[in-house]
Homo-oligomer: A and B are copies of this chain.
Amino acid sequence: MTRKLYSLCGADRARPFSPHVWKTKMSLAHKGLDFDIVPIGFTEIPVVEDGATGLVPLLRDGERLVKDSFEIALYLEQNYPDRPSLFAGAGGMAIARFVEGWSQTTLHPALTRIIIRDIHDRLDPVDQAYFRESREKRFGTSLEAVAESGGASLATFSEKLEPLRHVLKFQGFLGGASPLFADYIVFGAFQWARIVSPQRLLQPGDTVTDWFERCLDLHHGLGRSVTAA
């Protein structure tokens, strides 16, 4: 097999957790394409493939090297057009960017605060040092202070999911009756939290919980191949 997906993990190499890598894992499975996972820590990212990237995911597909989960989805759609579509047309491709925007600017900032300590505690020491320094620089405060603010983020987290609940009144997935890349974008965020944190973000009886469970079942239960923290 020539396809390799570089996947971020902590001290336990069998538990890749990056939300963006999970988007790509689901995308590859959606296309029915085999791949090998190459687990790497934060500080290994700039080293692999001759310094090809500063961020994961990074996909090697034979001669091609593609980075960024959305770019990879576009690449897969273009290069494997005979496989199931990740976008179901030009409209789905365009509007998936809005889902990405919502996930990145609404879910991720809240989740980061909620699970930042859980992430830190699961990393190798060398990655812990990098993680602390880079995140403290980003937030302009200590990792402990960011984690402290996670309580307030957790308390209001469920409210942020209203746009999803609206969709789920009409259909089983963001993509309609079956999932598209738009689903994997949001799935990645929840899967990240599921793998690194024992905190419960989704409640029983919530339609978003049901949707997430359906996503975990997809592609022969790919999402369940890593257990919940």
Which of the 9-residue segments A2-10, A25-33, A41-49, A86-94 touches chain B? Answer: A86-94
A53 within 8 A of B: no
Q: Which residue in B90, B97, B101, B175 is a CB contact (below 8 Å) of A88?
A: B90
CB neighbours (8 Å) of A167 from chain B are 97-98, 101
What number of A residues sit within 8 Å (CB to CB) of B? Answer: 34
**Among B87, B101, B163, contact of A101 (Cβ-Cβ < 8 Å):** B163
Q: When the two chains form their complex, are residues B174 and A104 in contact, meaning their CB atoms are under 8 A apart?
A: no
Whether A99 contacts B101 in the complex (CB less than 8 A), given A88-B89, A91-B180, comes out as no
Closest-by-CB residue of B relative to A159 is B105
User: By the criterion CB–CB under 8 Å, are B176 and A104 in contact?
Assistant: no
Interface centre among A85, A104, A162 (most CB of B within 10 A): A162
A94, A99, A173: which has the most chain B beta carbons within 10 Å? A94
Asked if A106 is at the interface (CB within 8 A of a chain B CB), the reply is yes
Q: Does A58 contact B (CB under 8 A)?
A: no
Q: Out of B87, B90, B94, B166, name the residue touching A97 (CB < 8 Å).
A: B166
Q: Collect the chain B residues with CB atoms within 8 Å of residue A99's CB.
A: 95, 98
B176 touches A98 (CB 8 A): no
Q: Is A171 an interface residue (CB 8 A)?
A: yes
Which of B85, B89, B95 is close to A174, meaning CB atoms less than 8 Å apart? B95
Digitize A139-173: 1 where CB-to-B-CB distance is under 8 Å, 0 elsewhere. Answer: 00000000000000000000000111111001101
Of B95, B104, B106, which is within 8 A of A92 by CB? B95
A88 and B94 contact, Cβ closer than 8 Å, known pairs A106-B162, A166-B105: yes
